[in-house]
């Protein structure tokens, strides 16, 4: 049985107080908190086998290399990839996206081609493609959204055409919470010879994910949003595509041979992992994967549906609350963005912080979407495995108290 109250005991930071109040952390879409097992994994590495990997024959280096590569295998299994050589470590999802845009993109996108995105994309899955389109004299095409923040699929069927080279879309919106129909988009893309690139930064931490079932061609995500340390990203790609791509960075460890005249590259995955990687944090990311596997991603998903449904109903009981994205909790992830009429989201965020509640307020690195919504930003509460309905009650009570300060949130 999924028991978030028991789970909370594994997260020491949740015991701290902010402004004299017990911390209510509702900002996991920005970064998740870390369980003790992940923290101990970091300490264990530095205390017992701190060494560089892939290069030494001494015991510490061999132990570090084994633990490092074990994490790669854990990630392969977690996303159901066919080969661990398809799992590339980067410093974050942003770097993974740029890697593909600047290697595969420059090889395959030509003048007159089209790159298809959505208005809900995080800047990380928008700006690299925008810049590639500009550089290659290609056209950036936007799939329209429905009134409740979902992709208009009939329109997508028309817009994804023989000029399309890549469809770049988020698995789950970090603002709207929308979970996108990746299988349908994959079929549309592949039918016209295009590839599907998935930004899984919000989806992979919260949804059972199989890259083979989704039939995507690339996927990027970050471990810090799924209980792991910061500074660890993953690019998954089909082996045939990765093999054909040029190196992204050159230097140590990604080479096969170097002479005065030329260099040749290492095999996958090391071809894209130049230099000393973030060894300690990657090893600790393996502990994060272990933790999520023990809970089960189906249970994680069910817990978040329950929380989101509860939060939406609670926000709807507050007058003037505007909720963005699908109202059906089964069609969205653990993110609820909202605004109150004539109240800036930063004011809401500040008042909640005074009550010890951490939310995110602003444009969430989605400025094109904010313009479409005709707002400067939103207040966003995001949930994860350690959140409870009681914390949502605290949030709602604090919003009611905010009415006394802001004078706009009227309870029905």
Predicted confidence (pLDDT) per residue in 106-155, tens digit: 999 999 999 999 999 999 999 999 999 999 999 999 999 999 999 999 99
pLDDT attached to residue 156: 98
pLDDT confidence band for 407 (50 / 70 / 90): low
Q: What are the phi and psi torsion angles at 179 (to 5°)?
A: -100, 120
Which top CATH class is 39-293? alpha beta
Q: Count CA atoms within 13 Å of residue 160 on its CB side.
A: 30
pLDDT attached to residue 409: 45
pLDDT confidence band for 56 (50 / 70 / 90): confident
pLDDT at 71 over 90: yes
DSSP state of 91: S
Is it true that the peptide bond before 269 is cis, omega within 30 degrees of 0?
Answer: yes
Burial of residue 275, with CB atoms counted within 10 A of its CB: 0-12 exposed, 13-18 middle, 19 or more buried = exposed
Residue predicted with more confidence, 318 or 405: 318
Cα 215 off chain centre by: 18
Of 20, 124, 49, 19, the closest CA to residue 284 belongs to 49
352-379 residue pLDDT tens: 999 999 999 999 999 999 999 999 999 9
180-224 residue pLDDT tens: 999 999 999 999 999 999 999 999 999 999 999 999 999 999 999
Alpha-carbon span 76 to 79, nearest angstrom: 6
pLDDT at 1 over 70: no
pLDDT at 288 over 70: yes
Residue 113's SS3 state is coil
Residue predicted with more confidence, 412 or 388: 388
CATH T-level topology, domain 4-30+297-406: 3.90.1150
pLDDT at 32 over 50: yes
The percentage of the chain sitting over the pLDDT mark of 90, rounded to a whole number, equals 93
pLDDT confidence band for 345 (50 / 70 / 90): very high
pLDDT attached to residue 402: 80
Alpha-carbon span 78 to 289, nearest angstrom: 8
Contact 23, 17 (CB under 8 A): yes
Residue 244's SS3 state is helix
Alpha-carbon span 186 to 197, nearest angstrom: 9
Alpha-carbon span 267 to 361, nearest angstrom: 43
| Contacts within 8 Å (CB) and 24+ apart, 236-242 | 236/79, 236/81, 236/86, 236/87, 236/88, 236/211, 237/86, 237/88, 237/100, 238/86, 239/82, 239/83, 239/85, 239/86, 239/268, 241/104, 241/195, 241/217, 242/86, 242/88, 242/268, 242/269, 242/271, 242/272
Ranges of each domain in the chain = 4-30+297-406, 39-293
235-280 residue pLDDT tens: 999 999 999 999 999 999 999 999 999 999 999 999 999 999 999 9
- Spot the catalytic one: 216, 365, 366, 411: 365
Is 365 tagged catalytic?
Answer: yes
pLDDT attached to residue 91: 97
DSSP state of 266: P
């Amino acid at each position: 049985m999924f028991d978030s109250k028991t789970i909370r005991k594994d997260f020491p930071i949740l015991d701290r107080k902010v402004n004299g109040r017990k911390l209510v952390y509702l900002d996991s879409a920005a970064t998740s908190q870390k369980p003790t097992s992940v923290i101990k994994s970091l300490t264990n590495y530095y205390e017992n086998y701190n060494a560089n990997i892939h290069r030494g024959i001494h015991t510490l280096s061999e132990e570090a290399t084994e633990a490092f590569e074990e994490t790669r295998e854990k990630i392969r299994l977690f996303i159901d990839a066919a080969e661990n050589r398809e799992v590339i470590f980067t410093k974050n999802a942003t770097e993974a996206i740029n890697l593909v845009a600047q290697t595969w993109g420059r090889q395959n996108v030509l003048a007159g081609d089209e790159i298809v995105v959505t208005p809900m994309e995080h800047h990380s899955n928008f700006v690299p493609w925008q810049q590639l389109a500009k550089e290659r004299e290609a056209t950036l095409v936007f799939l329209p959204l429905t009134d409740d923040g979902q992709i208009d699929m009939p329109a997508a069927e028309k817009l994804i055409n023989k000029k399309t080279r890549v469809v770049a879309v988020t698995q789950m919106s970090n603002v709207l919470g929308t979970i996108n129909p990746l299988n349908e988009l994959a079929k549309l893309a592949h039918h016209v010879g295009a590839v599907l690139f998935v930004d899984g930064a919000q989806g992979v931490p919260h949804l059972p994910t199989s890259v083979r079932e989704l039939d995507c061609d690339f996927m990027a995500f970050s471990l810090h949003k799924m209980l792991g340390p910061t500074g660890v990203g993953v690019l998954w790609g089909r082996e045939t595509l990765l093999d054909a791509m040029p190196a992204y960075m050159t230097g140590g460890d990604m080479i096969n041979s170097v002479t005065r005249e030329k260099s040749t590259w290492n095999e996958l995955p090391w071809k894209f992992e130049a230099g000393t990687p973030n060894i300690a944090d990657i090893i600790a990311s393996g502990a994060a994967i272990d933790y999520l596997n023990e809970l089960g991603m189906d249970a994680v998903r069910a817990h978040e549906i329950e929380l989101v449904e509860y939060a939406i109903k609670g926000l709807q009981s507050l007058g003037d609350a505007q909720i963005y994205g699908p109202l059906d909790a089964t069609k969205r992830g653990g993110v609820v963005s909202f605004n109150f009429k004539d109240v800036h989201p930063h004011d809401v965020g500040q008042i909640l912080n005074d009550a010890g509640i951490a939310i995110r307020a602003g444009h969430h690195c989605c400025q094109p979407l904010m313009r479409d919504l005709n707002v400067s930003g939103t207040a966003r509460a995001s949930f994860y495995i350690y959140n409870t309905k009681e914390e949502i009650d605290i949030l709602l009570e604090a919003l009611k108290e905010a009415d006394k300060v802001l004078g706009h949130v009227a309870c029905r």
